[in-house]
A and B are shown apart, each in its own frame.
Chain A
Amino acid sequence: MQKISKAKLYELFDDIASKQTLYIPTDREAGAAEYRKYESGMKLTKELNTVRSAKDFFFPQTENLAEFKIDGKNIEVRDIREECEDFVIFGVRACDAKSFTILDKVFLCEPVDSFYKNRRDHGTVVTMACKRPAETCFCKTFGIDPTVPGGDVSCFDDGESIFFLANTDKGEKFVESISSFLEDGDTDKLMEVQTRAREIMGRLPLAKLSTENFGGDKLNEYFNSDKWAELSEACLGCGTCTFVCPTCQCYDIKDFNTGHGIKRFRCWDSCMYSDFTKMAHGNPRLTQLERFRQRFMHKLVYFPANNDGEFGCVGCGRCLAKCPISMNIVKVMKALEAK
């Protein structure tokens, strides 16, 4: 496999950044990493993962859809879409890389969402294999091997060097473009690192969590479960879990009057919010119980029902870490399973 010595990594970053926009996960403060546009001098985070997921790159929190000019009774619609510029995201974890394929199922199915596709077409995802999973990690539950992270290019760190492995045509092109920095490398040590990481994965507190009791055929069994009341009791109805979640993709479309035109934009929305389904004549999800149930049923039952058994969760553990009241999908799964 082709590799680069870690000492030369930032030289490589400088080179990539000179050709296209490069994003890397970097420390915002101790214990909190985020993706930022790479500039010389910026350092990769030592954190396992970023606080916010990487979905922002393809599905940003807000984006303009169209503009309207109103002149008396006439309206002019302006298509403000522009071809996105090429960009590279470096250091995406296996869970986030997998989340892109889940988002693809939503946004790239007919009718294709051109806003999402535009970014997806121009973004190269360079992933990074995990060596030190956290206690909140449970990607294994969803069939993800974090030591083989996927994306367009997979990267592996054996402590001294970073190895690059292209997975797609786009990835091939990328590796080709940086080939002057790469040399052939021996992967023996890498295999050791991988074996050790897999061994740790097996010892994680959530390693035994399984999806076997969930799936598209469990709708009636779980929808009417009496566990929802207890599970949702403490839920604040905030959107933290949905906004840090790499696979949550619900959105709202809103208009903003700028005083000299109307901007129609879409922004993330959360099924946990009280007004998510509110209509002029009522609300089918009146209490937090229904909203809470919707989120987890969507990930564990509805999504697999519509997508050949694929679950709407990647086990990144962000909601475990960030929920203000520590209620999360793991607790929900365990409670629903318990007979």
Chain B
Amino acid sequence: MQEAMIKRAKELLADGSVDRVIGWKRGEFTYDITPAVFTSAEEIDSDFVCDDFTAANVSKYLVKETQKEGKVLAFLKPCDTYSFNQLVKEHRIDREKVYVIGIEGGPKLDIEKIKAKGITGILSVKNEDYTLRIETIYGTQTMPFYEAVLDKCASCKSKKHVVFDELIGEDGDVLDSNRFEMVEKLENMTSQERFDFWRDQLSKCIRCNACRNVCPACTCENCVFDNPKSGIDNKAPADSFEENMFHIIRAFHVAGRCTDCGECSRVCPQHIPLHLLNRKFIKDINELYGEYQAGADTTSRAPLTDYTKDDCEPSVVHERGVE
């Protein structure tokens, strides 16, 4: 697929259809891939990469890119197309300035999961028929491909591109995923158990803001947590309350807009399962206000900017089974 992408990117650059290409750039090692903008065929030839580690969602970069002159070619995986659509819907991306090529999605690999197996000194990772052959300074190791798949890919919601100008490879379908499994498991715990679970997780937070800054739904020019006049601006979780507040408010601010792309959990240096908060909102919205997938289209009203006269009362929360 990488060859086809490079070929197409160079064609489109050469005939002037696009001025820039946004994709991924090779790093020092086999896995440290950086999103990058390419402007020439030479750059693409030497650095462009699309492989098992190109998990980064590039759609948020298009907010800045479409503010510049000229047209940009973006390679979007199915999950990225949802984020892209949502940003178009919110008028953050100028659709006219982007040429979207849909590419096949994951599953992509999580280097941290490989390292968690005690594998270190990694020189290369090769997928040989769904067994990873990992060359290291300390010799060759193998592990099953599926044990190293990113969490966000393991619970993939859709292989369908909701927006594209052309496709490389096949388009897939919306999947019947198990993505709410963990949310359900937590819902069935007692309140104390849930509290302990989240305290344990959120206490790891170092407030690096990676989750916020990578999130394609977080595109505010000035975040409420950076605004000294909001009264809640803070740079460090000085108290457990602030850890909770940051994540509750952040999840709330993207509720109904979060496409469940899973980037927040992918980038968290402390492995906090932040996507569970977003999924809880998605699950609630689906159950209480009807199925809704943010980013699936650019026209429907978002659940939190909409209402019906016979919506349920908040007392549904109090009437749930387990306390």
A residues contacting B by CB (< 8 A) are 28-32, 46, 48, 51-52, 61-62, 132-136, 200, 203-206, 230, 233-234, 236-240, 242-244, 252, 254, 256, 265, 267-270, 273-275, 320-322, 324-328, 330-331, 334
Contacts and interface: CB of A to CB of B under 8 A. Distances in A.
Given A135-B122, A205-B123, A234 B61 contact: yes
Contact of A267 (B32, B122, B235, B271): B235
B131 to A, nearest CB: 20
Given A135-B123, A325-B34, A205 B235 contact: no
A71 B121 CA distance: 60
Classify chain B's interface size.
35 or more
B50 to A, nearest CB: 15
B322 interface: no
Given A31-B112, A135-B137, A238-B208, A324 B120 contact: no
Nearest to A60: B236
A252 B214 contact: no
A37 to B, nearest CB: 14
Interface in B194-224: 204, 206-210, 212-214
- Per DSSP, are chain A's interface residues mostly helix, strand or loop, or mixed? loop
Given A236-B210, A239-B208, A320-B32, A326 B27 contact: yes
- Per DSSP, are chain B's interface residues mostly helix, strand or loop, or mixed? loop
Nearest to B111: A321
Contacts of A62: 236-238
Contacts of B167: none
A31 B28 contact: no
Contacts of B36: 230, 233-234
A132 B116 CA distance: 15
Contacts of B118: 31, 46
Interface of B: 27-29, 31-37, 56, 61, 112-113, 115-118, 120-123, 136-138, 204, 206-210, 212-214, 226, 228, 234-238, 266-267, 269-271
A254 B234 contact: yes
Most buried by A among B34, B36, B266: B34
A327 B122 contact: no
Nearest first, the 8 A-B pairs at minimum CB distance are A31-B116, A267-B236, A324-B267, A326-B32, A236-B213, A238-B210, A238-B213, A30-B116
Most buried by A among B136, B204, B210, B226: B210
Most buried by B among A204, A236, A252: A236
B214 A238 contact: yes
Contacts of A29: 116, 271
Contacts of B209: 237-239, 273
A313 B210 CA distance: 22
A326 B34 contact: yes
Given A205-B29, A273-B226, A240 B210 contact: yes
B295 to A, nearest CB: 20
Contacts of B34: 234, 325-327, 331
B226 A331 contact: no
A52 B270 CA distance: 9
Given A62-B238, A205-B29, A275-B226, A52 B113 contact: no
Contacts of A206: 28
Contacts of B122: 134-135
Contacts of B226: 273-275
A234 B35 contact: yes
Contact of B214 (A51, A274, A324): A324
B35 A32 contact: no
A187 B26 CA distance: 44
Contacts of A268: 235-236
A324 B27 CA distance: 13
A244 B269 contact: yes
Contacts of A237: 209, 213
A200 B207 CA distance: 35
A249 to B, nearest CB: 14
B137 A200 contact: yes
A53 B272 CA distance: 18
B137 A330 contact: no
Nearest to B136: A135
Contact of A135 (B35, B112, B121): B121
A302 B210 CA distance: 26
Nearest to B56: A325
A52 B206 contact: yes
Contact of A233 (B37, B121, B236, B266): B37
Given A200-B137, A268-B235, A51 B269 contact: yes
A205 B237 CA distance: 36
14 contacts: A29-B271, A52-B206, A132-B120, A204-B137, A252-B235, A254-B235, A265-B238, A270-B208, A325-B34, A326-B27, A326-B33, A327-B34, A328-B32, A334-B28
A269 B266 CA distance: 23
Nearest to B263: A324
A243 B235 contact: no
A206 B213 CA distance: 29
A135 B138 CA distance: 10
A318 B180 CA distance: 32
A328 B267 CA distance: 15
A136 B206 CA distance: 22
A236 B120 contact: no
Contacts of A234: 34-36, 61
B238 A256 contact: yes
Given A132-B120, A270-B235, 7 more contacts: A205-B28, A234-B36, A236-B213, A239-B208, A269-B235, A270-B208, A330-B28
A204 B31 CA distance: 16
